[in-house]
Amino acid sequence: MAGHSKHRDEGGSATRAPTRLPRLRTPLTLSLFTGASAPALAAEGEFPLLDSASDLLDFLTSFDLHNAVYFGLFMGLVAFSTTTSLLLMGERRRASRVERTLRNELATLRGSDDLATLLMGSERQLLVSWHGRDGEARFQGDPTILGEGAAAKRALAFGTWLQPGDAAAVEAALENLKQRGEAFRLVGQTLFNSFIDVEGRTIGGRAILRLRDVTGDRAELLKMRTDLATARSDLRAMTMLLDDVAYPLWIRATDDTLLWANQAYLRSVEAKDLDDAINRSLELLGQPTREESRRQRKDGTTYSARVTAVVAGQRAVLDVIERPTSGGSAGIAVDVSELEAVRTDLQRQMDAHVRTLDQLPTAVAIFDAGQKLIFSNAAYQRLWGLDGAFIASRPTDSEVLDRLRAARKLPEQADFRAWKADFLTGYRSVEQQETWWHLPDRRTLRVVINPNPQGGVTYLFDDVSERFELASQVNSLTQVQGETLDTLKEGVAVFGSDGRLKLHNRAFVEMWNLPPDIPAGHPHIDIIIKSCRLLAPQEEPWVDIRGAVAGLADMRMGLSCRIERRDGSALDCTAQPLPDGATLLSFTDVTASVNVERALTERNDALERASRLRDEFVHHVSYELRSPLTNIIGFAHLLDDGTAGELNPRQKEYTDHIERSSKALLAMLNDILDLASIDTGSLELTPEIVDIRSTIDAAMRGLEDRLAESALHLHIDTPDDIGTFVADGKRVRQILFNLLSNAVGFSMPGQTIRVSARKRGGEVIFEVRDQGRGIPPEVKARIFERFESHTLGTRHRGVGLGLSIVRSFVELHGGRIELASAPGQGTIVTCTFPNERQESPSDGRTGQSALTPIAAE
């Protein structure tokens, strides 16, 4: 073959010599390995240009398999190196970006660290931090604030460098900071008399304690505060001392506003405290007094005067001294009312006596030792008709008597001179004298002559004419009342406060067969009781009667009791205290009414026993009927299902009637059993969350057949969000079923029955309205009673338990039922249930909808 040559080795065997790559003859071939362009190689003169295609074909023929493998490896290495170079360049660019970012962050952190170091180094302070409640403490800052050479950990041993009181306070505050995160700030004094600002707070889940040295200007400020506190304490002590002073003291500002006042001042103006006095502008002194004091103080002089003021709601006389100060003024007021009172007490008492005597209906005249009139009240002038001029002239007693005799206002006397002389002897008497004057105008005067200690006399003229007239009227009235009491059939006796008989009538004596001599002697109540017990030996009523008559005055009260006598008669006794301390006893014969009451009681007991026997009979019969009725319903259901064989249409109709009638009878028996359980108190409600709309629908489904048969329309009206309430769902359905059944029974074909439900306040209200005949008033009064059944001209029949059990169930829920009806206007039954639990709205079921009328086919 061309491109290969044969030669023999030393053994004489022929071997195939390896093929050598022919020399590349064209620049194009070399460019495939070197990547240089063909013209460039040609320019260098390494290969001659071959224009002939035969040379290229000759080269390709000599290119064997080994050369192809080498060429492929070479090209793979070139591709791998290229890909690696690209990935390396991308990674270097990403690393460069990350490096720049980290350098920027490092520069920022270095700046923040330098700033934090600068801030912490700006003043001496030490920071202690804890991560979490039980974390290890970290210390940062200058620990020398705790003392020269002190270690940072010494900061938490507060007792070694703080005063004991401050150490305990910081320890408690730090514990609250670590346990509950409560921030605090305190200033403590060290054992070497420097001041440390202790601040604690939480930052980023860490508890930070900051200790900062506040010596220098701040220490001076704290010292000034301490001095200020001491001065305030001294001022407070002085204020407390001045508060105990009994005289009002006050301090005012330059604008005359009140700055301070002691307790005596506050009591005087009736203020709760100083702020109350300032806010309400309560002033001890009047406006003119304050203006005069202000005027004198502006001139630099001290104001001093005696003024009148209202102190604690009472008028008082005060000696006021108020002097100017650099910041305003200070004043004091001394109460001198007692001294003034002593001066004016006598005059005021005299004036008070005069005013009092002028109000008295008794005529009063006072004559001095010279028998001259020095005082007379208005009643004296009205009694004798004396003019004011004559009274003002201070006449003598003799002149007054002479004028009265001339006016015929004195008692007629045969010897007036002797009578007058005898009357004037009262001036020489030392004892009080009393006489009676019967005047010509038929008036009667009671005259009292009272000698005065300083001489002279005081005359009291009391007109008792009305008293005599009233006494006469009382005597007449007493006689009339006595005659009236004697005509009464009830026994009446009045006992005085001493327990003795004061007044009685004939009926009282005859009722208890008392001897005539006993009431006449005004006997004690004990004697009366002893005589009366011969006819009525009971112990208890007489003990009560004696207590009402002879008990303590403040313990007496009204009493009513019944006394049974030996002869079978009965008396009602009533004891009534009278305003004058006496006690009125009245005895009424109630034998006839007692006999009627006994007969009625016996009849009522008999009726109750009959009602109880009836209920027990119904209860037992209901239980006995329930088992066979259940069997009837079960067998009727089996026959209807075809279990015992197929039935013809008429037989199925009969079984349907049997099943419906049996179920109706079972419902009736269940109602009777429920009523019996209610009567015995054994029926218990089962509270649950009741959906109002679903309950109405369930009650309506039990009456679909009757609605269809009667061609009635049923309309349900409930809001969309009527929701639920807590009740016994079974009993609520039973209530609605009975109400709807009653409405269906009394409605005419084509009429509409309306059922509505509302929530109002804390109540749920159900209302069933029909358009039937209505209920007459005489039937409406007994409609809820048991076994009260009224057809009212309709085909409705029943035993009269529906509405009775409805009322019982509603009342068991703590609700109420109301019925409104009139003939020809239908009937409205309203049931109200308590709604103490708020429920969420229902699922959005249509609340107000009119069901499709159910009419007979």
Closest CA to 717 of 831, 848, 852, 828: 848
**Rounded mean pLDDT of 211-223?**
71
Question: pLDDT, tens digit, for every residue of 4-19?
Answer: 433 344 333 333 444 3
Query: CB neighbours of 294 closer than 8 A, spacing ≥ 6?
Result: 256
300 pLDDT more than 70: yes
Question: pLDDT, tens digit, for every residue of 241-284?
Answer: 877 888 888 888 888 888 888 888 888 888 888 888 888 888 88
Question: pLDDT, tens digit, for every residue of 573-630?
Answer: 998 888 888 888 889 888 888 888 888 888 888 878 876 776 676 666 666 666 777 7
User: Which pLDDT score is estimated for 419?
Assistant: 92
**Residue 137 per-residue DSSP state:** P
User: Which pLDDT score is estimated for 114?
Assistant: 61
User: Which pLDDT score is estimated for 3?
Assistant: 39
Q: How far apart are CA 802 and CA 746, in angstroms?
A: 13
Question: pLDDT, tens digit, for every residue of 386-435?
Answer: 888 898 899 999 999 999 999 898 998 889 999 999 999 888 888 889 99
The two tokens of residue 708 are 């269809």
501 pLDDT more than 60: yes
Alpha carbons within 13 A on the beta-carbon side of 172: 6
User: Which pLDDT score is estimated for 614?
Assistant: 63
**Rounded mean pLDDT of 477-502?**
83
Lowest mean pLDDT among 38-42, 120-124, 316-320, 627-631: 38-42
User: Which pLDDT score is estimated for 678?
Assistant: 67
User: Which pLDDT score is estimated for 243?
Assistant: 78
Pairing outcome for strands 363-367 and 457-463 = antiparallel
180 pLDDT more than 60: yes
Question: pLDDT, tens digit, for every residue of 507-540?
Answer: 888 888 888 888 888 899 889 888 888 888 888 8
Asked if 679 contacts 808 with a C-beta cutoff of 8 angstroms, the reply is no
**Rounded mean pLDDT of 660-672?**
70
Helix (H, G, I), strand (E, B) or coil at 409: coil
Q: How far apart are CA 207 and CA 175, in angstroms?
A: 10
User: Which pLDDT score is estimated for 754?
Assistant: 92
- Under the banding of pLDDT at 50, 70 and 90, the label for residue 30 is very low
Measured in degrees and rounded to the nearest 5, phi and psi for residue 243 equal -65, -25
What percent of the chain is predicted at pLDDT more than 70? 81
Most confident of 28-37, 661-670, 736-745, 826-835: 826-835
162 pLDDT more than 70: yes
Asked if 164 contacts 191 with a C-beta cutoff of 8 angstroms, the reply is no
Cα 419-423-426 angle, rounded to 5 deg: 160
* Residue for token pair 């009726």: 607
Lowest mean pLDDT among 167-181, 288-302, 316-330, 611-625: 611-625
Q: How far apart are CA 411 and CA 438, in angstroms?
A: 6
Lowest mean pLDDT among 36-45, 672-681, 693-702: 36-45
Lowest mean pLDDT among 215-219, 541-545, 717-721: 215-219
Sheet containing 570-577: which strands, arranged edge to edge?
A: 501-504, 491-495, 583-589, 570-577, 559-564
User: Which pLDDT score is estimated for 668?
Assistant: 66
554 pLDDT more than 70: no
**Rounded mean pLDDT of 632-660?**
76
The two tokens of residue 776 are 């007459």
51 pLDDT more than 60: no
- Under the banding of pLDDT at 50, 70 and 90, the label for residue 233 is confident
Asked if 622 contacts 673 with a C-beta cutoff of 8 angstroms, the reply is yes
Query: What is the 3 state secondary structure string of 214-251?
Result: CCCHHHHHHHHHHHHHHHHHHHHHHHHHHHCCCCCEEE
Asked if 47 contacts 31 with a C-beta cutoff of 8 angstroms, the reply is no
Report which of residues 621 and 471 the model is more confident about.
Answer: 471
Alpha carbons within 13 A on the beta-carbon side of 115: 6
CA dihedral 115, 118, 121, 125 (to 10 degrees): -20
User: Which pLDDT score is estimated for 514?
Assistant: 87
User: Which pLDDT score is estimated for 215?
Assistant: 66
For residue 814, CA distances in Å to 727, 759, 807 come to: 10, 16, 11
User: Which pLDDT score is estimated for 7?
Assistant: 39
Average pLDDT, the chain: 78
- Under the banding of pLDDT at 50, 70 and 90, the label for residue 63 is low
Lowest mean pLDDT among 102-111, 355-364, 618-627, 747-756: 618-627
**Residue 853 per-residue DSSP state:** P
Asked if 307 contacts 335 with a C-beta cutoff of 8 angstroms, the reply is no
Asked if 756 contacts 767 with a C-beta cutoff of 8 angstroms, the reply is yes
Sheet containing 816-821: which strands, arranged edge to edge?
A: 816-821, 827-834, 763-770, 752-760, 713-717, 848-850
**Rounded mean pLDDT of 832-842?**
64
In the chain, the largest separation of any two C-alpha atoms, in whole Å, equals 219
Sheet containing 184-189: which strands, arranged edge to edge?
A: 138-141, 125-131, 206-213, 195-203, 184-189
Query: CB neighbours of 527 closer than 8 A, spacing ≥ 6?
Result: 518
Measured in degrees and rounded to the nearest 5, phi and psi for residue 799 equal -90, 0
765 pLDDT more than 90: yes
Lowest mean pLDDT among 197-201, 449-453, 783-787: 783-787
Query: CB neighbours of 792 closer than 8 A, spacing ≥ 6?
Result: 746, 773, 775, 776, 779
User: Which pLDDT score is estimated for 447?
Assistant: 92
Q: How far apart are CA 666 and CA 48, in angstroms?
A: 128
**Rounded mean pLDDT of 757-770?**
91
User: Which pLDDT score is estimated for 218?
Assistant: 62
Neighbours of 146 (CB within 10 A): 25
Q: How far apart are CA 459 and CA 461, in angstroms?
A: 6
User: Which pLDDT score is estimated for 458?
Assistant: 92
Asked if 613 contacts 679 with a C-beta cutoff of 8 angstroms, the reply is no
User: Which pLDDT score is estimated for 38?
Assistant: 43
635 pLDDT more than 80: no
Closest CA to 720 of 841, 572, 623, 852: 841
Q: Which region holds residue 821: left if phi is over 0, alpha if psi is between -120 and 50, else beta?
A: beta
Report which of residues 501 and 154 the model is more confident about.
Answer: 501
Q: How far apart are CA 809 and CA 734, in angstroms?
A: 9
User: Which pLDDT score is estimated for 5?
Assistant: 39
Asked if 264 contacts 248 with a C-beta cutoff of 8 angstroms, the reply is yes
Asked if 175 contacts 184 with a C-beta cutoff of 8 angstroms, the reply is no
Q: How far apart are CA 251 and CA 221, in angstroms?
A: 29
Q: How far apart are CA 205 and CA 165, in angstroms?
A: 29
Query: CB neighbours of 785 closer than 8 A, spacing ≥ 6?
Result: 800, 804
What percent of the chain is predicted at pLDDT more than 90? 9
User: Which pLDDT score is estimated for 682?
Assistant: 60
In DSSP terms, which residues pair with 689 in a beta bridge?
726
- Under the banding of pLDDT at 50, 70 and 90, the label for residue 787 is low
- Under the banding of pLDDT at 50, 70 and 90, the label for residue 225 is confident
User: Which pLDDT score is estimated for 18?
Assistant: 41
User: Which pLDDT score is estimated for 764?
Assistant: 93
Lowest mean pLDDT among 69-73, 462-466, 626-630: 626-630
Q: How far apart are CA 759 and CA 766, in angstroms?
A: 9
**Rounded mean pLDDT of 563-575?**
88
**Rounded mean pLDDT of 793-803?**
54
Neighbours of 735 (CB within 10 A): 29
Most confident of 53-57, 633-637, 668-672, 756-760: 756-760
Amino acid at 772: G
